[in-house]
Amino acid sequence: MVSVSIFYRKILKFILCLFIAQNTIAQEVSFLFLGDIMGHGPQIKAAWNDSLKRYNYDEVFHPVEQLISSVDFAIANLEVTLAGPPYKGYPQFSSPDDLAVACKKSGIDVLVTANNHSCDRGSNGIIRTVKVLDSLGIQHTGTFKNSQERDSLNLLVLEKKGIKVGLLNYTYGTNGIKFSSPTYVNLLDSTLIKKDIDKAHKQNLDKLIVFVHWGVEYKDLPNSYQKKYNQFLKDQGVDMVIGAHPHVVQPMLYEKQKANKKEFLTVYSLGNFVSNQRDIRKDGGAMFRCSYKKNKKVKLKDKEFILTWVYKFSLSNKMHYQVLPCAHKKYDQSFFSNNEDYKKMQNYITHARALFKQENTGVSEGRPNPKIHMDKHEPVEIHATVPPRIISKINFLKEAKAKKRKR
């Protein structure tokens, strides 16, 4: 009797070890998608640090920095140009380079740049934006300095832990401002996209994601144009579609196709990540976090949203903006000096949760904490084509991060 129980215990131990081993060596790569990073006039003003005589956006990202930097690839839509001064907000955006510096410092790895504001500052705006991102080591796709770069850099390949994911980016339009040679902006054009996807499929990718700028502003639900393109992308074998532009959140849909068991996921709109839009629904957004795990086949493991709300407040005669992770326990009523702000955040949460509860399929709310299995990759090298002060800021950050890791 005793020996039988020892035998079963050994078997159990063996199974447990197998289970642990399998999970330890599992190849898994994590993503976090953020919506529109806007740069309205009041945001530019708020970023000015008068004592240091320079712009600084770090505090905007601070409350979500841990979340952003805990995934393998954090990807956001940069809805401004970095065209240099004069810095302007709506309707033709040019933000200080320091906005991109703060993105980098917070852990954002990729900025997609094809949106209706890509051409706000003409060819110079497109070229300079790309140059600044290159200088900071921020990967990007969507707009290009010239057609050669469009050919070689259009498909952004994100590879880690043996999993290879491709990223493409398109916009419905550029507010009627046409781009001119040599620059190039990816427009939503089914012939062009089909060509790009066919080319991408030859790259031995595990998954293909398309980030699309589309939809009608301030609408809670996708329109027929979005649905048509979503179906088109699905038919072309795309695995995930991430949308932005409506400035409000729209549904997230997961499906497993019956015929071939292929997974397909759509996020119709992530809403605003940061902006000066203060009306209910426009004052927040959603991050979408997911991971792909390789276990013979590469499959979606996590797929969840994390609500964020833009906290705009006055302190020391100056406005401030911070993106708060809504469900984080730190940001309860006691955090806010003004109860009105807490109410506004609650209104946003109530609306977004109700919409997602009603419309989402297979995507639920995640906890706004970094996940332990999601270890961040080392920061990439910064190339010296940006002003020295930016380089020194980034180097400082890298050193600080390295020190943190050692501790």
Q: For residue 137, which of 107, 177, 162 has the smallest C-alpha distance?
A: 107
CB of 115 to Zn ion, least distance (A): 5
CB of 226 to Zn ion, least distance (A): 13
Q: How far apart are CA 109 and CA 170, in angstroms?
A: 18
CB of 122 to Zn ion, least distance (A): 18
Dmax over Cα atoms in the chain, in whole Å?
84
Residue range at the interface with Zn ion (CB under 5 A); choices 120-128, 141-149, 231-239, 242-250: 242-250
Q: How far apart are CA 252 and CA 277, in angstroms?
A: 23
Residue range at the interface with Zn ion (CB under 5 A); choices 112-120, 149-157, 203-211, 372-380: 112-120
Does 116 contact Zn ion by CB under 5 A? yes
The site that binds Zn ion (CB under 5 A) totals a number of residues, namely 3
Burial 62-75 (b: 16+ CB within 10 A, else e): ebbbebbbbbbbbb
Does 276 contact Zn ion by CB under 5 A? no
| Residue in the shown chain whose Cβ atom is closest to Zn ion | 245
Residue range at the interface with Zn ion (CB under 5 A); choices 116-124, 143-151, 289-297, 389-397: 116-124
CB 390 within 8 A of CB 136: yes
Q: Segment 121-140, which members bind Zn ion (CB under 5 A)?
A: none
CB 185 within 8 A of CB 192: no
Does 245 contact Zn ion by CB under 5 A? yes
Nearer to Zn ion, 244 or 253 (CB): 244
CB of 88 to Zn ion, least distance (A): 16
Does 393 contact Zn ion by CB under 5 A? no
Name every residue whose Cβ is closer than 8 Å to that of residue 231 and which is 6 or more positions away in sequence.
none
Residue range at the interface with Zn ion (CB under 5 A); choices 42-50, 115-123, 183-191, 320-328: 115-123
CB of 96 to Zn ion, least distance (A): 20
Q: Give the binding site for Zn ion (CB under 5 A).
A: 115-116, 245
